[in-house]
Amino acid sequence: MKIMGVLGSPRVGGNSAILLEEALAGAKDAGAKVEKIILSQKKISGCLDCTKCNEMGICAIKDDMQEIQKKILESDAIIHSVPVYFWAMTSQMKAYLDRWCVFFDGQWQLHKAYAPKMKKKRIGLITVCGDPDVSIANPIIHSFKTTCDFAGLPWLGGVQASAATKGEIANNKEIKKEAYNLGKKGATIS
């Protein structure tokens, strides 16, 4: 079992990073191998909608996303963690998610080569916003859940938290437990 954590925050060591570490600890304690990717440390360009990937499942853009796509295919579950920036996901996470189009053909079906590896891939999401009303992150949840529904990927669920100052979430035992349990769930449900 391999669980990949994807951090979409440009602020390393912040609240989103803390909760992702909790999720990966839950997965590791459940026996999974874990790996973390920090998107702000990668070069990922936005999708050009050139449709080159529709034919062969290979993106025309040469950047760090090719290696990340391989890791996506190798993982059993992916836990994403992202803060809310201007009522949406960060630009790093958006570029990453848009580049998932490489897994689809021109009819928006999973490429035959990728379908066996993608179909059972479990997806989870952690969001952190500075507003006390965590529903501010609902559009991000919607983006990920709809992607799962569209692609037929199992949705592990989401953890929505509120924290404004860097590291503040470390004091929230309840939300840290939710993140831990999300990671554990990703490692134990098949």
Indicate whether 157 belongs to any domain: yes
pLDDT exceeds cutoff 80 at 133: yes
Regarding pTM above 0.85, the answer is yes
Indicate whether 52 belongs to any domain: no
Which domain does 172 fall in, by range?
2-41+57-188
Report the CATH number that the domain containing residue 68 is assigned in CATH: 3.40.50.360
Cβ(181)–Cβ(30) under 8 Å? no
Mark out the alpha helices in the chain (DSSP H runs).
15-29, 52-56, 65-74, 91-98, 115-118, 138-151, 173-188
- The CA distances from residue 70 to 67, 73, 124, in Å, are 5, 5, 18
Indicate whether 50 belongs to any domain: no
3-state SS, residue 128: strand
Per the DSSP assignment, residues forming a β-bridge with 38 are: 7
3-state SS, residue 77: strand
* Whole-number pLDDT of residue 153: 94
The token pair at 146 is 């709809």
Indicate whether 51 belongs to any domain: no
Indicate whether 91 belongs to any domain: yes
Rg over alpha carbons for the chain, rounded to the nearest Å, is 16
Task: Count CA atoms within 13 Å of residue 145 on its CB side.
Answer: 12
Cβ(57)–Cβ(102) under 8 Å? yes
Indicate whether 115 belongs to any domain: yes
Cβ(103)–Cβ(151) under 8 Å? yes
Indicate whether 48 belongs to any domain: no
* Whole-number pLDDT of residue 190: 63
The total number of structural domains that make up the chain: 1
Mark out the alpha helices in 30-87 (DSSP H runs).
52-56, 65-74
pLDDT exceeds cutoff 90 at 70: yes
Nearest Cα neighbor of 92 from 78, 76, 80, 102 is 80
pLDDT tens digit string along 82-120? 999 999 999 999 999 999 999 988 888 888 889 899 989
Indicate whether 176 belongs to any domain: yes
